[in-house]
């Protein structure tokens, strides 16, 4: 607006913007100071206190694992939660989110053992647990620091740790309640087992990776028949020593086929061609076999002196293999189900570390993976191997060791999913929960429908012990309600470590005897609870009994938690409270690099949220990036995306700076009515009001990327590009106390007030800085989103539509004149509009202000130089050389003579004191 010539005698009479709000944010250096202010002033606590009478909104925080610093996926999760808490607070809710940490479990124990090195062998369970507790405490502190640096609000004195004494006691209490209600049982059946870590795994602890397995077709001789065999297929030769049966499907057709060099083979008709293709053998059908035929057969194990019996099960399909399924009840869930129904033992001749036991004497002590080729060779020697190849498939691996898992039958404690109709009741409850995105309900339903009983026990040290005992005399397991309740009282007084520090007699009710042999000589068992049970009962531990049956309003985690925390939280809550622990479940995707690849150290594409983003750009930039993402799907991040967000931030900050330079909080006290404002000011307050309503709804539906988009467009287009340009002359050159300038200043103050609050959940540091500079004494987070319904004016918007449509054509005509080199500033132009001036409802003088030109006319008779002409949708637009001279103060071409002030400026300047020119 202002000319570069300093000698302009009127420069000091112009009301230019003034503010101490810095153009350069310097976020990385200045944010820590604001974090300390929030802590010192207890802003988060006061934010909740002043709304204690308001409706509550509870977001229950899924506990991250206390191992390592937060990665960029954590930052997405934590910032999203913080945006929700802050937006709900400004929406008038009393909000709460108590951050939690998952502190027990395998990763910490393994890391501590690694740190101990050779000393690990001489470390007692109690000492190991102490070191695990210290390790977890250290990383809770580090992750808490990360949380602060993300500008997330939380009370450091109000958090939950699954290793806290009161939490551990609550875990045992919930376990006891489930036991009392009949959901907990001990059984020997196949579970996922890691032979590298010697412990069971739950489904939530499994990740699938490609794995190369041997693929073998094996003959089982039919006893009493000559050269007749049942053909099975398996990718786990090491399980053949545990084979006790061959399973068929009563709904499939089976036949006896003559092979070219392997005798007569039994297999499913529907897999004949596939078997021929895979093995290279030729099969000719001899006869069909009925279910009765198959049921009368007995099969000889190919290398052991053992018979295998025929069984039937609907898990046998035509998807692969032969339709005749090798069945080892100790090494597969379907095998176990059909085997135990038939009275077969759960034979598993493999120890905790994957070595054969004396139940398979010929390979005793050999690890199963080493035994695979030996068993293949044994089958070849016995002439039982029809075909061998290698098979690449998706196979379950341990989430911690990254090694393949096996199915192995071991004595474990289980949570019965079908007891008392729990599965069906949970499926009904799932339908009443709001799942965002909506495909979440399909995902969790399919998992709940098909999941087996939950294996709760782990064979490790660092966790909450299962309070069961074993009789030293007869080996009988002892656990009952009385024992659990007694132990709970001890834990509440002395802590969970008593399990490892005291003898069994000190932990049992007086007079406890083995319910089998009557002995009083019992010992503590060593199994601990699955860490997913720890976090699964967090709603009980965090909210206590006071929550009753009222679930949390929201759970927000990654989409992988449909099979993890969302389920582990669901089962205890449904079993005890008869209601799910959440009303709504919102999920986000994974954070990928800018090329869509998963981040890994090996690829060198890991982005650290603190060192790579916050320390360089500031946490507000990271938070703004989070708000740009449609997080329901996987999101990408890289240097270019951060730079793009930084540029958007700069535009938003410049908008704030302009507003702060032209108004302050005291202006709001004017409390001007709608009819006291100029038309253009009322129009942009109408647009602000609509933005305000849209953004509040978008926050409420967690569509933060739309919040970002709408606010950015409002700042860069509606305000900076249009409104600020339209009122620039008024703000700079009208008298300070004029009605027109006061109208715009009041509008700017209202815009700044509303815009700051709308962006506070996202740009927490910047909006607090704006709020203070604006002149507000308290934190922006003590305020509520505004109600601007009184400024909605659809009639005015309709009235102005033709004006802004014409303005677009005017802009195009002005740009054409610039291209021709005939025009610089738009104030050097006069606009001639071909059309009826009465259709605009505004005077030419008002239109000139809207179009930011010196003059508008509907009469083109006067002869002036035509700079350009544009035929647009609203009619013909001419840009002409103005017929008046330029005012040296406002630069509008409205002066009668060159070098003289226009009438408006002359009046304003004449009223100023001599010191102001």
Instruction: Quick: pLDDT tens for 549-599.
Output: 578 999 999 998 998 899 999 999 999 999 999 999 999 999 998 888 888
| Residue 422 CA neighbour count, 13 Å, CB half | 26
Rounded to 10 degrees, the C-alpha dihedral 494/500/505/506 comes to -20
Please report the sign of the dihedral spanned by the C-alpha atoms of residue 470, residue 475, residue 477, residue 478. Answer: negative
Number of Cβ within 10 Å of residue 503's Cβ equals 10
What is the reported pLDDT for 469?
A: 94
The kind and range of the H/E element at 646 are helix 639-662
Q: Which residues have CB under 8 Å from 7's CB, separation 6+?
A: none
CA dist 91 to 118, 457, 779, Å?
A: 57, 44, 15
Residues 462, 759: Cα–Cα separation, whole Å: 44
Please determine whether the domains at 209-399 and 796-883 fall in the same fold group of CATH.
no
Q: How many CA atoms lie within 13 A of 505 on its CB side?
A: 5
Contacts of 270 (CB under 8 A, 6+ apart): 252, 253, 318, 323
DSSP string, 309-358: EEEE-TT--SSSS-S-EEE-TTS-HHHHHHHHHTT------B-TTSBB-G
Residue 917's pLDDT is: 43
Contacts of 121 (CB under 8 A, 6+ apart): none
Q: CA–CA separation, 858 vs 877, rounded Å?
A: 10
Q: Are 629 and 635 in contact (CB under 8 A)?
A: yes
Q: What are the tens digits of pLDDT across the range 105-161?
A: 888 998 899 899 888 888 888 999 999 999 999 999 999 999 999 999 999 889 999
Among 404-418, 546-560, 592-606, 684-698, name the most confident range: 684-698
Measured CA angle at 804 (ends 801, 806), to 5 deg: 105
* CB contact set of 450 (below 8 Å; sequence gap of 6+): none
> Residue 575 contacts by C-beta under 8 Å, 6 or more apart in sequence?
178, 181, 183, 420, 422
How much helix, strand and coil, in percent to the nearest 5, is found in the chain? 45, 20, 35
With H, G, I as helix, E, B as strand and everything else as coil, classify residue 617: helix
Distance CA 466, CA 610 (A): 39
Q: How far apart are CA 306 and CA 26, in angstroms?
A: 77
* Coil, strand or helix at 767: helix
Rounded to whole angstroms, how far apart are CA atoms 399 and 643?
35
Binding residues for ATP: 601
Query: Topology of 796-883 in CATH?
Result: hypothetical protein PF0899 fold (3.30.2320)
**What is the arithmetic mean of pLDDT over 476-489?**
93
Q: Is the pLDDT of residue 686 over 50?
A: yes
d(CA 491, CA 473): 27
Closest CA to 747 of 803, 796, 678, 811: 678
Cα 427 versus chain centre, distance: 23
CB 102 within 8 A of CB 542: no
Q: For residue range 62-82, list pLDDT tens digits in order.
A: 999 999 889 999 999 999 999
What H or E segment, with its residue span, contains residue 385?
strand 385-398
pLDDT of res. 323? 92
Note whether 626 and 763 are within 8 A (CB): no
What does DSSP assign to residue 612? I
The values of phi and psi at residue 227, to 5°, are: 50, 40
Assign 459 a pLDDT band (cuts: 50, 70, 90): confident
In three-state secondary structure terms, 44 is helix
Cα–Cα dist 224/246, whole Å:
17
Structure tokens belonging to residue 569: 């939280």
- Phi, psi angle pair for 87, to nearest 5°: -70, -35
Is it the case that residue 203 has pLDDT exceeding 80? Answer: no
Average pLDDT over residues 213-227: 91
CATH 1.10.730.20 corresponds to the domain 14-22+632-792: yes
Mean pLDDT along residues 456-472: 93
Residues near 137 by Cβ (< 8 Å), separated by ≥ 6? Answer: 66
Count other Cβ atoms within 10 Å, centred on residue 902.
23
Residue 836's region, left for phi above 0, alpha for psi from -120 to 50, else beta, is: beta
Question: Pairing state of beta strands 469-471 and 477-478?
Answer: antiparallel
pLDDT of residue 1: 44
**How would you class 901 by CB atoms within 10 Å of its CB: exposed for 0-12, middle for 13-18, buried for 19 or more?**
buried
- Smallest CA-to-CA distance from 786 within 717, 688, 657 is with 688
Least-confidence region, from 358-367, 606-615, 872-881: 872-881
Q: What is the mean pLDDT of the chain?
A: 90
Predicted confidence band of residue 864 (pLDDT cuts 50, 70, 90): low
Domain map (residue ranges) of the chain: 14-22+632-792, 49-171+538-588, 209-399, 796-883
- pTM for the model: 0.87
Which residues share a beta bridge with 288?
255
| pLDDT tens digits, 352-388 | 899 999 888 888 898 999 999 999 999 999 989 999 9
Cα separation, 60 vs 582, in Å, equals 8
What was the pLDDT predicted at 584? 96
Instruction: Give the residue ranges of the annotated binding site for Zn(2+).
Output: 887, 890, 902, 905
Confidence grade of residue 914 (pLDDT, cut at 50, 70, 90)? low
The residue-averaged pLDDT of 198-202 equals 81
pLDDT score, position 913: 60
Give the pLDDT confidence score for residue 861 in this predicted structure. Answer: 64
Left (φ > 0), alpha (ψ -120 to 50) or beta: where does 432 sit?
alpha
By DSSP bridging, strand 307-312 and strand 245-248 are: parallel
The pLDDT value recorded for residue 390 is 87
Q: What angle do CA 703, 708, 714 make, to 5 degrees?
A: 125
Does 869 score more than 70 pLDDT?
Answer: no
Q: What is the pLDDT of residue 408?
A: 87
Cβ pair 866, 877 in contact under 8 A: no
pLDDT at 793 over 60: yes
Mean pLDDT confidence for 259-270: 91
Give the CATH fold of the 49-171+538-588 domain. Rossmann fold (3.40.50)
Binding residues for L-isoleucyl-5'-AMP: 557
Structural contact between residues 882 and 829, judged by C-beta atoms closer than 8 angstroms: yes
Question: Taking a C-beta distance cutoff of 8 angstroms, is the pair 652, 711 a contact?
Answer: yes
Closest CA relative to residue 412, chosen from 663, 116, 193: 193
* Cα maximum dimension of the chain: 124
Binding residue ranges: 557, 601, 887, 890, 902, 905
CB contact burial 39-63 (16+ within 10 A = b; e otherwise)? eeeebbeebbeebeeeeebbbbbbb
Percent of the chain's residues with pLDDT above 90? 60
Mean per-residue pLDDT, 2-10: 63
**Domain 209-399 CATH assignment equals 3.90.740.10:** yes
DSSP state, residue 64 = P
- For 197-206, b/e burial (b = at least 16 CB within 10 A) is bebbbbbbbb
Beta bridge partners of 367: 355
Nearest to 833 by CA among 874, 868, 804, 800: 874
Name the helix (H) or strand (E) containing 870.
strand 866-872
Strand, coil or helix: 482:
helix
How far is Cα 355 from Cα 406, in angstroms, rounded to an integer?
12
């Amino acid at each position: 607006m202002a000319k570069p010539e300093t000698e302009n005698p009127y420069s000091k009479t112009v009301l230019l913007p003034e503010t101490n709000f810095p153009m350069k944010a310097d976020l990385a250096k200045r944010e820590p100071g604001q974090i300390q202010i929030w802590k010192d002033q207890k802003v988060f606590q006061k934010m909740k206190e002043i709304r204690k009478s308001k409706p509550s909104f509870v977001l229950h925080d899924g506990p991250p694992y206390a191992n390592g610093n937060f990665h960029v996926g954590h930052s997405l999760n934590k910032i999203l939660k913080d945006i929700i808490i802050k937006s709900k607070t400004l929406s008038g809710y009393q909000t709460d989110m108590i951050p939690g940490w998952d502190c027990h479990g395998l990763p910490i124990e393994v890391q501590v053992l690694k740190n101990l090195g050779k000393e690990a062998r001489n470390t007692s369970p109690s000492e190991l647990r102490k070191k695990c507790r210290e390790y977890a405490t250290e990383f809770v502190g580090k992750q808490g620091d990360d949380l602060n640096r993300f500008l997330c609000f939380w009370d450091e004195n109000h958090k939950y740790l699954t290793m806290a004494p009161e939490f551990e006691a609550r875990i045992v209490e919930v376990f006891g309640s489930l036991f009392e209600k009949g959901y907990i049982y001990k059984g020997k059946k196949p579970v996922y087992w890691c032979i590298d870590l010697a412990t069971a795994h739950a489904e939530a602890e499994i990740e699938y990776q490609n794995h190369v397995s041997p693929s073998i077709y094996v003959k089982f001789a039919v006893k009493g028949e000559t050269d007749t065999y049942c053909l099975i297929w398996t990718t786990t030769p090491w399980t053949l020593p545990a084979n006790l049966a061959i399973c068929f499907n009563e709904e499939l057709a089976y036949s006896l086929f003559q092979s070219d060099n392997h005798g007569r083979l039994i297999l499913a008709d529907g897999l004949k061609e596939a078997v021929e293709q895979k093995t290279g053998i030729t099969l000719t059908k001899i006869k069909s076999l009925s279910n009765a035929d198959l049921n009368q057969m007995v099969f000889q194990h190919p290398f052991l002196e053992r018979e295998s019996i025929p069984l039937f099960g609907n898990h046998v399909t035509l998807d692969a293999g032969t339709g005749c399924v090798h069945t080892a009840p100790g090494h597969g869930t379907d095998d176990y189900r059909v085997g135990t129904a038939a009275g077969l033992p759960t034979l598993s001749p493999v120890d905790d570390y994957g070595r054969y036991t004396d139940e398979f004497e010929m390979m005793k002590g050999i690890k199963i993976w080493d035994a695979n080729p030996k068993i293949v060779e044994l089958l070849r020697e016995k002439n039982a191997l029809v075909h061998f190849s290698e098979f690449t498939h998706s196979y379950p691996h341990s989430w911690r060791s990254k090694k393949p898992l096996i199915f192995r039958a071991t004595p474990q404690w289980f949570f019965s999913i079908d007891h008392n109709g729990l599965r069906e009741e949970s499926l009904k409850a799932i339908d009443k929960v709001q799942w965002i995105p909506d495909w979440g309900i399909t995902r969790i339903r399919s998992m709940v429908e098909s999941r087996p009983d939950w294996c709760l026990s782990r064979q490790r040290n660092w966790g909450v012990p299962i309070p069961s005992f074993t009789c030293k005399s007869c080996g009988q397991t002892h656990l009952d309600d009385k024992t659990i309740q007694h132990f709970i009282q001890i834990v509440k007084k002395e802590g969970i470590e008593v399990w490892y520090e005291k003898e069994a007699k000190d932990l049992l009710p007086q007079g406890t005897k083995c319910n089998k042999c009557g002995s009083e000589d019992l010992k503590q068992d060593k199994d601990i609870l699955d860490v997913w049970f720890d976090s699964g009962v967090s709603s009980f531990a965090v909210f206590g009994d006071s929550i009753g049956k009222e679930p949390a309003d929201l759970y927000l985690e990654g989409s992988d938690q449909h099979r993890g925390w969302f389920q582990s939280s669901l089962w205890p809550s449904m079993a005890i409270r008869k209601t799910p622990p959440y009303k709504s479940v919102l999920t986000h995707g994974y954070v990928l690099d800018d090329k869509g690849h998963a981040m890994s150290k090996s690829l060198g594409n890991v982005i650290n949220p603190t060192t790579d983003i916050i320390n360089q750009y500031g946490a507000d930039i990271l938070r703004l990036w989070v708000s740009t993402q449609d997080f329901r799907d996987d999101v990408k991040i890289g240097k270019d995306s951060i730079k793009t967000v930084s540029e958007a931030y700069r535009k938003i900050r410049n908008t704030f700076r302009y507003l702060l330079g032209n108004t302050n909080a005291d202006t709001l006290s004017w409390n001007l009515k709608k009819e006291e404002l100029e038309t253009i000011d009322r129009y942009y307050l109408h647009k602000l009001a609509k933005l305000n309503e849209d953004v509040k709804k978008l926050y409420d539906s967690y569509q933060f990327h739309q919040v970002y988009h709408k606010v950015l467009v409002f700042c860069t287009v509606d305000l900076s590009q249009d409104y600020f340009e339209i009122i620039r002359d008024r703000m700079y050159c009208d008298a300070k106390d004029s009605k027109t300038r006061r109208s715009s200043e009041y509008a700017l103050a209202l815009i700044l007030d509303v815009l700051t609050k709308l962006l506070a959940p996202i740009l927490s540091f910047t909006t607090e800085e704006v709020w203070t500079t604006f002149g507000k004494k308290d934190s922006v987070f003590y305020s509520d989103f505004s109600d601007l319904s009184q400024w909605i004016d659809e009639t005015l918007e309709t009235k102005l539509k033709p004006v802004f449509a014409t303005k677009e054509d005017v802009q195009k005509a002005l740009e054409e004149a610039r291209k021709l080199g005939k025009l610089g500033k738009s104030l050097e132009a006069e606009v001639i509009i071909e059309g009826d001036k009465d259709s605009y409802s505004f005077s030419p003088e008002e239109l000139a202000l809207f179009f930011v030109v010196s003059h508008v006319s509907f009469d083109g008779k006067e002869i002036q130089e035509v700079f350009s002409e544009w035929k647009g949708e609203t009619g013909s637009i001419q840009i002409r050389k103005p017929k008046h001279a330029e005012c040296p103060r406002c630069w509008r071409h409205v002066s009668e003579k060159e070098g003289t002030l226009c009438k408006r400026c002359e009046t304003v300047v004449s009223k100023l004191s001599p010191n102001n020119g």
